Amino acid sequence: MKNQNDMIVSVVAGVIAIGAFCGLFFTKRTPVTPPPPTVVPTDEAKPQEGAVTFTASLPAGSGNTGFGGAARPSAARPAGGGGDSRFGGMTKPGNMLGG
C-alpha cells in the first residue's frame, strides 16, 4: 500500500463484502415442501339398494319419450323448411341462390 487512502478503501471494501456475504447467508429462504397429496379412492361407486328406480317417463308426465313429452311428429313440418333459413326457405341444394 502506497498511502493511507488505499488502505482505508481496501478495509471498507472488505467489511462491506463480509457484511453482504453474512446478510445473504443468514437471510436465505428455505424451500417450502408441500404436503403429500391425499389418496383419491378410485373404486366403483355403489348405489344404495332400492334408492334408484329406472322408468321410461318423468314423474307425473305422459308416456311419450319425445322432448318434453309433447313433441310434434316429424311429418308435421313443411317440406321446404318453412322459411326459417336465411335464404327464405330455399334449403335444398338445387334451390340455393347462385347455383
pLDDT one-digit tens code per residue, 34-92: 999 998 888 887 777 776 677 777 777 665 555 555 555 555 555 555 554 555 555 55
Q: Give yes or no for a contact between 11 and 18, defined as CB atoms under 8 angstroms apart.
A: no
Q: What is the pTM of this model?
A: 0.33
Task: Tell me how far apart the alpha carbons of residues 60 and 51 are, in angstroms, rounded to a whole number.
Answer: 19
pLDDT confidence of 20, banded at 50, 70, 90?
very high
